Structure 1
Amino acid sequence: MPAKSKAQQKAAGAALSAKRGETPKKNLRGASKDMAQSMSEKELEELASTKRKSLPERKE
């Protein structure tokens, strides 16, 4: 499932990084913290790999 906004794509990237152990989980806040706990690595990878060019900054 592709990301619906740039903010969602960025949060998924941060959560994915923490899930892989590249960054500490204590640095996560807000949506990225929730994503890291509730989503699998594969789901996060799909969201984070969405191209950002045509996405709005935030979903209305």
Structure 2
Amino acid sequence: MPAKSKAQQKAAGAALSAKRGETPKMDLKGASKSMADSMSEEELEDLAETKRKSLPEKKG
């Protein structure tokens, strides 16, 4: 499933980094923290690899 906004794509990237152990999980805030807990690495990859060029800054 592709990301629906740049903010969602960015949060997924941060969560994926923490899930892989590249970033401390305690550094996560907000959506990225809950994404890291509730989503699999594969789901996070799908969101994080979305091209940002055509995405709105925030959904809504």
What TM-score range do you get, normalising by the shorter chain? over 0.9
Please state if 1:22 is matched with 2:22. Answer: yes
SS of the residue corresponding to residue 42 of structure 1 reads: helix
For 1:31, the equivalent position in structure 2 comes to: 31
SS of the residue corresponding to residue 8 of structure 2 reads: helix
State the one-letter code of the partner of 1:37. D
- The alignment covers a number of residue pairs equal to 60
The list of structure 1 runs, each at least 4 consecutive aligned residues, that deviate by more than 6 angstroms after superposition, is none
What TM-score, normalized by structure 2, do the two folds share? 1.00
5+ residue gaps, structure 2: none
SS of the residue corresponding to residue 3 of structure 1 reads: coil
SS of the residue corresponding to residue 12 of structure 2 reads: helix
What TM-score, normalized by structure 1, do the two folds share? 1.00
C-alpha RMSD over aligned residues: 0.1
Percent sequence identity is 83
- Deviation by residue 1:25-50 (Cα, 9 ceiling, x = unmatched): 00000000000000000000000000
5+ residue gaps, structure 1: none
